[in-house]
């Protein structure tokens, strides 16, 4: 019997911004784009136009469904102009403009991971105290690796197959709720995670 599927309670079409651009910090705290290393542009100013080619050129960003794939040290709501391309886990625009810094940091990432960790334990997840304590330590240290850490958390209590099947989508949902301040839906996502987890435990 296949694992119970996670059903998202988040209406991603209602996400209030075109997309989100994440930036990581170097050792001096300076923000730059992950992988490309491009310094963060000045907020409110359109970036220079570039032909968008996925993973090669243009200005890459995340849609609501992609947030778990690219979560880093800081997040900005953006606007786009010109040609925009969409891929399975990201989007790319000819030009973007940073319009609003969102409430987001490594500590916020760790808080989301811990929320899932704690709600699973409170609902009776079978676990090893040592493993869960180690997970808490690792989650705090690795908070930017959102999907990987979330999958590890779920695998600890649910089994790897179910964890990998549902690790990315609920993480993105929780980030959407967190940055928009939609706490009722945040709670619904946690309840859905517990529902799927319990279905796994009972097998």
Query: What is the residue-wise DSSP string for 41-73?
Result: PPTTSPPPP---BTTTBSEEEB-GGGHHHH--S
Residue 130 pLDDT class (50, 70, 90 cuts):
very low
Q: CA 12, CA 65: separation in Å to the nearest integer?
A: 7
Q: CA 33, CA 60: separation in Å to the nearest integer?
A: 9
The pLDDT of residue 78 is: 97
The pLDDT of residue 89 is: 87
Overall average pLDDT of the 134-142 stretch: 54
Q: CA 51, CA 151: separation in Å to the nearest integer?
A: 35
Q: Which of 181, 183, 154, 184 is nearest to 6 (CA)?
A: 154
The pLDDT of residue 32 is: 93
Interval 9-50: pLDDT, tens? 999 888 999 999 999 888 888 999 988 889 999 999 999 999
With contact defined as beta carbons under 8 Å apart, do 125 and 197 qualify?
A: yes
Residue 163 in this model has a pLDDT that exceeds 50: no
- What's the first-to-final CA gap in the chain, in angstroms? 10
With contact defined as beta carbons under 8 Å apart, do 30 and 79 qualify?
A: no
Type and span of the H or E element at 13: none
Residue 189 in this model has a pLDDT that exceeds 60: yes
Q: CA 52, CA 113: separation in Å to the nearest integer?
A: 33
The pLDDT of residue 9 is: 92
Residue 158 pLDDT class (50, 70, 90 cuts):
very low
Residue 84 in this model has a pLDDT that exceeds 90: yes
Helix, strand, coil percent content, the chain, rounded in steps of 5: 45, 20, 35
Residues 6+ apart with CB under 8 A from 83: 51, 52, 93, 94
Type and span of the H or E element at 140: helix 129-141
Higher-scoring residue by pLDDT: 109, 155? 109
The pLDDT of residue 63 is: 93
Residue 192 in this model has a pLDDT that exceeds 50: yes
Higher-scoring residue by pLDDT: 159, 193? 193
Residue 64 in this model has a pLDDT that exceeds 70: yes
Q: CA 90, CA 63: separation in Å to the nearest integer?
A: 6
Overall average pLDDT of the 161-189 stretch: 77
């Amino acid at each position: 019997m296949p694992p119970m599927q996670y059903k998202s309670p988040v209406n991603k079409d209602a996400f209030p911004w075109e997309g989100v651009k994440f930036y990581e910090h170097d050792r001096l705290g300076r923000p730059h784009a992950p992988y490309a290393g491009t310094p963060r542009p000045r907020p409110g100013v359109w970036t220079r136009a570039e032909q968008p080619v996925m993973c090669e050129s243009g200005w890459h960003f995340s849609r609501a469904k992609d947030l778990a794939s690219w979560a880093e040290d800081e997040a900005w709501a953006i606007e786009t102009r010109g040609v925009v391309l969409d891929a399975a886990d990201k989007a790319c625009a000819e030009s973007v403009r940073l319009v609003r810094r969102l409430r987001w940091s490594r500590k916020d990432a760790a808080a989301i991971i811990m929320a899932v960790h704690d709600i699973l334990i409170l609902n009776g997840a079978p676990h090893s105290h040592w493993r869960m304590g180690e997970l808490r330590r690792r989650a705090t240290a690795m908070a930017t690796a959102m999907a990987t850490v979330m999958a590890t958390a779920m695998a600890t209590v649910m089994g790897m197959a179910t964890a990998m099947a549902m690790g990315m989508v609920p993480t993105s949902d929780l980030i959407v709720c967190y940055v928009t301040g939609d706490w009722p839906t945040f709670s619904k996502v946690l309840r859905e995670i517990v529902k799927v987890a319990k279905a796994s435990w009972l097998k």
